[in-house]
């Protein structure tokens, strides 16, 4: 949802090869507001590939280099943006005795299984079709002139993004951003009912409740739920934590009025079985040898996320990391 369509899940800032002979390296990931991806997009046991910005493969050297297949996430520290990666072979076994990872700053990280990789050194023709990975809010709300699904994200078709200029996150920044959004699209055109941010960012506003009356908690006795909300004019926006949202981003999402459809829409086909050329379903045994009473079936679907009015999506970015 938050990716830009390239499939990049993180950008390297530096690397330590101290333990590479023992089969792992420590990579510090970039936390810059302009970086592609961030540590929250990496999950434990994810299998990853490191690429240069021109999409060239980056592989370790020395030792049994021929057995290397991927990096596997062993540990991560969100506070320091450091992730520990294990070097594994195609069977997931740890490989040892390498001399150097050859990972450098500006290298980018993808998940294993991505079918194509992007040359990031030049202009990207269209973020909506550059890779099989869905273009998320980072591109659908862009205002830097990039092309997404054939639409140039500038002027009237750009997202409503407010640069905080590295200032500390507070309610005034949120208010100014929403003021800008409503000036662009018109007050009353939409309703805004949620604000999505990283837990650290939402936590700042929870602390603000003690001194700012624009933040409130709502108890719904009928449904047995509690909400923490921000009030901007007539719009009551629930603050929602999302661990996959970059730390230096806040998104305010619009809802079209009744009967007008959605502003953000996920278009998706039904899942279908993967079939061979002859028409039979593609299946595999779950064991490499012997007889098994189990088989593995494969299914596929096509999907994309679109935004009908990017200016209605408010984005606050480049505030000081909470």
pLDDT value of residue 273: 86
pLDDT value of residue 212: 63
Residues recorded for the chain: 322
Both tokens of 193, joined, read 């009912």
pLDDT value of residue 228: 83
Q: What is the pLDDT of residues 110-148, one digit of tens each?
A: 999 998 999 999 899 999 999 999 999 999 999 999 999
pLDDT value of residue 210: 59
For the segment 92-108, the average pLDDT, to the nearest whole number, is 94
Contact 118, 56 (CB under 8 A): no
**Domain 156-264+307-317: which topology?**
hypothetical protein PF0899 fold (3.30.2320)
Q: Alpha-carbon dihedral of residues 217, 218, 221, 225, nearest 10 degrees?
A: -70
Domains in the chain: boundaries? 10-111, 156-264+307-317, 267-304
Reading phi first (left if > 0) and then psi (alpha if -120 to 50, else beta), residue 234 is in alpha
pLDDT value of residue 296: 76
Residue 247: half-sphere exposure toward Cβ, Cα within 13 Å: 19
Contact 139, 8 (CB under 8 A): no
Q: How far apart are CA 302 and CA 288, in angstroms?
A: 30
Q: Could you say which DSSP state residue 2 is in?
A: -
pLDDT value of residue 225: 57
pLDDT value of residue 249: 94
pLDDT value of residue 177: 95
pLDDT confidence bin for 272, thresholds 50/70/90: confident
pLDDT confidence bin for 19, thresholds 50/70/90: very high
Contact 175, 232 (CB under 8 A): yes
In this structure, the number of other CB atoms found within 10 A of the CB of residue 58 comes to: 17
- For the entire predicted model, the pTM comes to 0.85
Q: How far apart are CA 159 and CA 147, in angstroms?
A: 12
pLDDT value of residue 162: 95
Most confident among 53-57, 218-222, 236-240 (mean pLDDT):
53-57
């Amino acid at each position: 949802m938050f990716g830009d369509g390239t499939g990049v899940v993180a950008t390297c800032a530096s690397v330590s090869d101290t333990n590479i002979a023992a089969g792992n390296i420590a990579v510090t990931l970039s936390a810059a507001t302009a970086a592609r991806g961030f540590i929250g997009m990496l999950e434990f046991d994810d299998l990853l590939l490191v690429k240069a910005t021109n999409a060239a493969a980056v592989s370790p050297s020395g030792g049994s280099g021929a057995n290397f297949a991927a990096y596997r996430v062993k540990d991560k520290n969100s506070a320091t943006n450091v992730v520990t990666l294990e070097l594994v072979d195609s069977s997931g076994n740890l490989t040892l005795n390498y001399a150097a990872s050859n990972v450098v700053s500006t290298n980018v990280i993808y998940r294993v299984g991505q079918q194509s990789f992007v040359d990031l050194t030049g202009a990207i023709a269209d973020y909506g079709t550059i890779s099989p990975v869905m273009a998320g809010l980072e591109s659908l709300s862009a205002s830097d002139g990039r092309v997404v699904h054939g639409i140039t994200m500038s002027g009237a078709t750009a997202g409503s993004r407010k640069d905080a200029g590295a200032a500390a996150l507070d309610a005034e920044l949120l208010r100014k951003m929403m003021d800008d959004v409503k000036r662009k699209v018109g007050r009353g055109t939409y309703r805004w009912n949620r604000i999505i941010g990283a837990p650290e960012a939402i936590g700042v506003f929870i602390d603000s409740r003690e001194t700012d009356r624009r933040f409130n908690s709502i108890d719904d006795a009928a449904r047995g739920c509690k909400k923490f909300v921000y009030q901007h004019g007539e719009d009551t926006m629930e603050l929602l934590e999302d661990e996959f949202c970059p730390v230096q981003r806040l998104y305010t999402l619009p809802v079209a009025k009744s009967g007008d459809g959605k502003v953000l829409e996920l278009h998706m086909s039904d899942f279908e079985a993967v079939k061979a050329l002859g028409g039979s379903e593609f299946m595999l045994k779950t064991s490499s040898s012997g007889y098994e009473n189990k088989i593995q079936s494969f299914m596929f679907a096509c999907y994309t996320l679109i935004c009908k009015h990017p200016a209605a999506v408010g984005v606050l970015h480049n505030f000081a990391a909470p």
